[in-house]
Structure 1
Amino acid sequence: MMFDFFSVPRICFGPGKIAVLGDLLQPLGPRVLVVYNGGDSALAKVRDRTAAAGVATTVHRQKGEPTVADIDAGLNVARVDGCTGVIGVGGGSAIDAAKAIAGLLTNGGTALDYMEVIGAGKKITQPAAPWIAIPTTAGTGAEVTRNAVVGEPSKQFKASIRSELLLPRVALVDPELGVGVPADVTAASGMDALCQCIEAYLSTGASPLTDALALKGVELAWSALPLAVADGTDIAARSDMALAALISGVCLTNAGLGAVHGFAAPTGANYPVPHGVVCAALLPHVLKANASVAAAKGNSVTRLKCIVLGGIIALQTDRPAEELHLAAADAVLDLNQKLRIPQLSTYGIKEGAVESMVSLARKASSMKFNPVLLSDQTLQDILRSAL
């Protein structure tokens, strides 16, 4: 057995933890670029604490999922203002943008120079400028991942800048910062965290460490997500979801993901659909396909893992094994309906786009970690089922 395991040097977790930010700023230098999205409350708390610590700030708003142009624009702002460190505040989009900007500050060049699949794929060779990740949503786990996801509209694709040298100095996770997040964003983000735990567990890159973490993340998210959506002020539910999202980030950066996120790369780049909605809509159909192919092909490891997921998620451990391996897919479909996750056709994805989207999804780095080989016809059927 062989595996590598990457981790953020320090994680500060818990309600009210934003209070310690001032104590963490010294390595970032005299001026930081604050990259943020979402509400202004978290930004105000960050600026209060940077000001109290005598650290100057330049604020850069990230609108939507980051593109190559966004990263290059933020990088220019940081260079012009002489920023020596970076803080990412908000959802995965803000944190991925902060991560990429911090990396390019010390490595030079532009985003496309380092992007996988659609860029030059150059290696990051220098540690990123010191930066801190402060998530306000519980979804991507970007605060502990070693890749920054960036879109390029002209290429109809999203891809990663990837290196362990991009990891933040600190992931500061305060669940109270998520209290003002709307219910629909909480639902979509939370489904992304659940999906990442599930896909990392089934991934061909999984290890005993990621398996243990992923199953805990599934357990937390499955219980807490409906509560956090129903009552955004439920700090216990917010805390469990924040931990599940963090776990999902640790798992994906060490184990990889699968076909759901393979589809997410071109889908998010070509249609105005939130990343978490893509993942939620596709997850039950990918789960069902993986379980069915594993059973048909005699893939005992994947089939057993599907059974374990069925037992945890569906809580139907009294069902026969031949049914239990499909139970997780059915339960996720039910959860989507409960959380009012829209179908992908809501965002303009139509039958005529299915074949081209499958062709693009094949190129995504996540697809190579799917536990079984899915045919083009199966992938087309999956996408049609989510429309």
Structure 2
Amino acid sequence: MTIFSVTAPAQTIFGRDSRLGAAAHVARMGARILLVSGRSVPWVETFEAELRAAGLAVERIFSTGEPSLGDVRAGVSAARAFGAECVVAVGGGASIDLGKAIAGLTGSKGDPEQYLELGPTPARSLTDPLPFIAMPTTSGTGAEATRNAVISVPERQLKISLRDPRLVPVLAIVDPALTDALPKALTLATGLDAITQLIESYLCNRANPVTDALCRDTLPEAIAALRCLMEGPSHTARDTMARASYLSGLALASSGLGVVHGLASVIGGRGGAHGAICGRLLADALKVNREAAVRAGQPTRRFDEVEAWLREGLGGTVSGPERLRAFIDRHGLPTLNDLHLSERDFAAVAQEALGASSTKANPVALSVDDIARILHGAARSK
């Protein structure tokens, strides 16, 4: 049997209203808490008051979108000046990635840039990170279960992952109630991110028995739940998507992804929203990957399983990828042009994505032309 390893938070608490006991858990991690959050989750104010009532010193940092290298520098500087003993992030994937990067880098000397793979000089190794607690408010990235933080470097139009097994949160508190008020567009984009992560983890060349079990059990329900949430509110569907997002993080951290995320890392550097990019590319990536697998004489059973899950979960008689395309178009997912990618850049983006770390885990080797075909196919929109 192939050797594999599994990465997961030291503790996970999952369930509706599980956030209500969060302050007591945080108090066991330290007395000086750096709290990272977005500005759109009213409960965070209550949470901060609970932390202070427990006698903890709290410093607040606001996340304003996907974290840039400048945001990370500012956050690390604030954490060092405050003497933070623990970092807690409440928010979407961007807030969690910012908190994760701050926790990882605060105890490490020098500039955060020295710890990123940005050039020929090897990245420095982290000193022991601060304890990090993640509380997601979206169901998409699974960042509460992963060992990497995605950081943008705008001047280079790049997104780089800070990676280290010690970046995995010591505690993930996943309360689906924190996602109940998400608007439809964000629910769609983040949900497609989680589904893409599960699909790519299942298909990738590093899949293992644990990730197989996670993905097989989760994908059919997640696809149906996202369809349900596009039709109206449902606590049951929200719970399913929160669980799917968390498990997608476990899966990708323990296996890998594929060309969709390879492309998303390049396109996202131009400013497009990650989940929407993944959702827009997924149907054509499945089609091109299956064709490449047939050419290479590789089995297609897993592609056929994914196709059936999409077709059954989204309804209809056409193929799963085509059903997915119709679904995202009907519900207004942004086009590639909306996501800051024009057709004249397809060739350059395809070439860059070929060398992306996620693409290395793709289930079958693709050429630049294959990747360009994904982009041209995804550019079709009704």
TM bin, normalised by shorter chain, reads over 0.9
Distance 1:123 1:327 in 2: 47
CA drift at 1:152:
0.5
In structure 2, do the counterparts of structure 1 residues 86 and 378 end up closer, same or farther at CA, with 3 Å as the change threshold? same
2:215 equivalent in structure 1: 214
Q: 1:331 aligned to 2:323?
A: yes
Q: 1:377 aligned to 2:369?
A: yes
1:320 equivalent in structure 2: none
Letter of the structure 1 residue corresponding to residue 251 of structure 2? C
Letter of the structure 2 residue corresponding to residue 97 of structure 1? L
CA contact (8 A) 1:112 1:118 kept: no
- Of the three residues 301, 306, 320, the one matched with 1:304 is 301
Letter of the structure 2 residue corresponding to residue 141 of structure 1? G
Distance 1:117 1:215 in 2: 36
CA drift at 1:5:
0.9
> What's the CA shift string for 1:320-353, capped at 9, x where partnerless?
xxxx9x9332232232124321211123321111
CA drift at 1:124:
3.5
Q: 1:249 aligned to 2:246?
A: no
3-state secondary structure, aligned to 1:139: coil
CA contact (8 A) 2:105 2:126 kept: no
3-state secondary structure, aligned to 2:13: strand
CA contact (8 A) 2:39 2:62 kept: no
> What's the CA shift string for 1:276-304, capped at 9, x where partnerless?
1100000001000011111222101xx11
Distance 2:268 2:119 in 1: 15
CA drift at 1:183:
1.0
2:13 equivalent in structure 1: 12
CA drift at 1:33:
1.1
Aligned length: 376
Q: 1:355 aligned to 2:356?
A: no
3-state secondary structure, aligned to 1:172: strand
2:266 equivalent in structure 1: 266
2:228 equivalent in structure 1: 227
CA drift at 1:46:
2.1
In structure 2, do the counterparts of structure 1 residues 49 and 267 end up closer, same or farther at CA, with 3 Å as the change threshold? same
CA contact (8 A) 2:41 2:91 kept: no
Letter of the structure 2 residue corresponding to residue 337 of structure 1? D
Distance 1:8 1:351 in 2: 41
CA contact (8 A) 2:151 2:159 kept: yes
Distance 2:333 2:158 in 1: 23
CA contact (8 A) 1:141 1:248 kept: yes
Distance 1:102 1:6 in 2: 18
2:336 equivalent in structure 1: 344
In structure 2, do the counterparts of structure 1 residues 259 and 218 end up closer, same or farther at CA, with 3 Å as the change threshold? same
CA drift at 1:119:
8.0
> What's the CA shift string for 1:190-240, capped at 9, x where partnerless?
0000000000000111101101101222122101112233334x2211110
> What's the CA shift string for 1:79-103, capped at 9, x where partnerless?
1122211011110000001001000
In structure 2, do the counterparts of structure 1 residues 159 and 179 end up closer, same or farther at CA, with 3 Å as the change threshold? same
CA drift at 1:181:
1.5
CA contact (8 A) 2:151 2:161 kept: yes
> What's the CA shift string for 1:158-179, capped at 9, x where partnerless?
1111111111110000111112
1:31-50 aligned at under 5 Å gives the runs 31-50=32-51
In structure 2, do the counterparts of structure 1 residues 369 and 304 end up closer, same or farther at CA, with 3 Å as the change threshold? same
1:136 equivalent in structure 2: 137
Distance 1:299 1:136 in 2: 39
1:319 equivalent in structure 2: none
CA contact (8 A) 2:96 2:143 kept: yes
Q: Which has the higher helix share?
A: 1
2:282 equivalent in structure 1: 283
Distance 2:164 2:181 in 1: 32
Distance 1:210 1:291 in 2: 20
1:100 equivalent in structure 2: 101
Q: 1:157 aligned to 2:155?
A: no
3-state secondary structure, aligned to 2:88: strand
CA contact (8 A) 1:113 1:119 kept: no
> What's the CA shift string for 1:60-91, capped at 9, x where partnerless?
11111111111011111111122211011110
Letter of the structure 1 residue corresponding to residue 370 of structure 2? T
Letter of the structure 2 residue corresponding to residue 367 of structure 1? T
In structure 2, do the counterparts of structure 1 residues 251 and 123 end up closer, same or farther at CA, with 3 Å as the change threshold? farther
Distance 1:118 1:175 in 2: 40
Distance 2:258 2:213 in 1: 18
Distance 1:111 1:229 in 2: 40
> What's the CA shift string for 1:124-145, capped at 9, x where partnerless?
4433101110000000000000
Letter of the structure 2 residue corresponding to residue 130 of structure 1? P
3-state secondary structure, aligned to 2:333: coil
**Runs of 5+ unmatched residues, structure 1:** 317-323
3-state secondary structure, aligned to 2:201: helix
Letter of the structure 1 residue corresponding to residue 310 of structure 2? I
Distance 1:120 1:92 in 2: 28
CA contact (8 A) 2:277 2:336 kept: yes
3-state secondary structure, aligned to 1:58: strand
3-state secondary structure, aligned to 1:107: coil
Moved more, 184-193 or 341-350: 341-350
**Runs of 5+ unmatched residues, structure 2:** none
TM-score, structure 1 normalization:
0.92
Distance 1:229 1:35 in 2: 30
1:199 equivalent in structure 2: 200
> What's the CA shift string for 1:101-160, capped at 9, x where partnerless?
000012233332222355854354433101110000000000000011111112221111
Letter of the structure 2 residue corresponding to residue 185 of structure 1? L
